[in-house]
Copies of this chain bind each other. A is one copy, B any other.
């Protein structure tokens, strides 16, 4: 209907087929969205700390956009759970309570649990395998930050087994929220190392087509991760 490339698309698998993948990038973004991208990075990377207030004037000034545009970006991130918008008081980097962390892991158990009960395709398994291998490589290099990002890719790949774009998106946001908490871990190695081998084990259970065992294994996995996180988190409230 508005598919301007349709005529070339059905002309068999031409070399142009690859271009299809880049089409998502093609949809240019508004200034507000680009501003939101910048702020999202800053928040998840820890540049802005939880609880910190984000001044409209200061940031609008620093980024060279108007207050109105910045406010639109704030709304976007507020809906993603990264910012906390308090009426007449401004926006703050979200502070997650221990209860929030527990809830995030409840959601993970539901979404990831459903995922590992499905029969993965060969291609899906390949992506998961790649993430596991990346984590192992990073661990061998003592690159614990790299282990963390590979780990996140691993879990995101798990969720794709659900074959649901909405669940993929939900997981994306969930992990962004979790990253708000990860920064409290002063010792990333202690947090990430135990899970490298468990990723591998979970992958093997999937490859062996034993969904029930995989689900049980994942539950224990998430229980431990949650506890590790909450214990490092509770003290400083």
Residue A232 lies at the interface, judged by CB distance under 8 Å to chain B: no
User: SS class of chain A's interface: helix, strand, loop or mixed?
Assistant: helix
Q: How far is the CA of A76 from the CA of B179 in the complex (A)?
A: 23
B28:A165 contact, CB within 8 angstroms: no
Number of interface residues of A (CB under 8 A): 34
Residue A5 lies at the interface, judged by CB distance under 8 Å to chain B: no
A-B contacts besides A72-B75, A79-B80, 16 pairs, CB < 8 Å:
A2-B51, A27-B87, A30-B87, A75-B75, A75-B76, A76-B79, A103-B165, A104-B166, A106-B162, A106-B166, A107-B164, A109-B114, A110-B110, A110-B167, A166-B174, A170-B170
Residue A222 lies at the interface, judged by CB distance under 8 Å to chain B: no
Residue A113 lies at the interface, judged by CB distance under 8 Å to chain B: yes
Closest to A79 in B: B79
Closest to A29 in B: B87
Residues in B whose Cβ lies below 8 Å from that of A166: 103-104, 106-107, 174
Indicate with 1 or 0, residue by residue over A102-121, a CB within 8 angstroms of chain B CB atoms: 01101101110110000000
Residues in B whose Cβ lies below 8 Å from that of A174: 166
25 contacts between A and B (CB under 8 A): A2-B51, A27-B87, A68-B68, A72-B72, A75-B75, A76-B79, A79-B80, A103-B164, A103-B166, A104-B166, A106-B162, A106-B163, A106-B164, A106-B166, A106-B167, A107-B166, A107-B167, A109-B114, A110-B111, A110-B114, A110-B162, A110-B164, A113-B114, A114-B114, A166-B174
